[in-house]
Amino acid sequence: MLDQFLGFGQIIIADLVLSGDNALIIGMAAAGLAPPLRKKAILYGMIIAAVLRVVFAVIATKLLGIPGIYFIGGLLLFWVCWRLFAEIRQGVDAEAEHAMALASDDSEGYTGAPRRSLGAALLSITIADISMSLDNVLAVAAIADGDTRQLVFGLALAIVLMAFAATMIMKLLARYPWISWVGLIVLVYVSADMLYRGVFDPRTGILAMLT
């Protein structure tokens, strides 16, 4: 029971701190559009991010049983931690909050004739979302460790946060940076645990492959 409680808590923290990238990219892309297109860009951008998370979650559940995959996943998650560390120091959450607010205000941002199409903005969002969705799903899948309920919960929470609370989450993280630091500590722990299992686990560790 305690393990599951801790797992759900870690997933909530991971979803919160990894939502900043999506909000920043979607907000910046939408703010560069003419006002009539912004709400469409935000909506479609969030749908794209949600679909990518579902796709990556399905792939992740299929791959986690492959020997050596935890080792590779641990290395990727450490890279996510390093990127998150750099973003916290640069104040990306505050930038994301400003970008989302700018995109939601028709009197702010770019207000002239359209200088890029909605399709071009969504292409930029999709390319960036591929990496960010993979980060989020990798972290949640590592924490869930095969627990379908935790995986589904983490996936659903990430989608709900993007769809209904992106601006609120960015304000929260910008006002209380310590939440992001706690999230980073959680992800470093998850990365280290994943890497350890990727080496020593008798079923999926790389040592099992070499013996």
Asked whether residue 18 is domain-assigned, the answer is: yes
The answer to the question of residue 6 being in a domain is no
Domain-located, residue 86? yes
Residue 5 domain flag: no
Q: Is residue 171 part of a domain?
A: yes
Angstrom distance (rounded) from CA 34 to CA 116:
9
pLDDT in tens, 126-183: 877 777 777 788 888 888 877 888 888 888 888 777 766 666 776 777 677 788 888 8
Q: Is residue 134 part of a domain?
A: yes
Return the top range by mean pLDDT from 88-97, 100-109, 180-189: 180-189
Residue 80 has pLDDT above 70, yes or no: yes
Q: Which residues contact 74 (CB under 8 A, 6 or more apart)?
A: 142, 191, 192, 194, 195, 196, 197, 198
In a domain, 2, yes or no: no
Q: Is residue 7 part of a domain?
A: no
With tokens 């990518």, the residue in question is 52
Question: What's the structural domain count of the chain?
Answer: 1
CA 33, 165, 97, 9 dihedral sign is: negative
In this predicted structure, the answer to whether residue 203 has a pLDDT above a threshold of 80 is: no
Overall average pLDDT of the 2-11 stretch: 79
Does residue 191 surpass a pLDDT of 80? yes
Which alpha helices (H) appear in the chain, and where do they start and end? 2-17, 20-31, 35-63, 69-90, 92-104, 118-144, 148-164, 166-175, 178-200, 206-210
Q: Which residues span the domain enclosing 144? A: 13-205
Pull the structure tokens for residue 10.
């870690």
Which tokens sit at 50? 């949600």
% residues pLDDT > 70 (the chain): 71
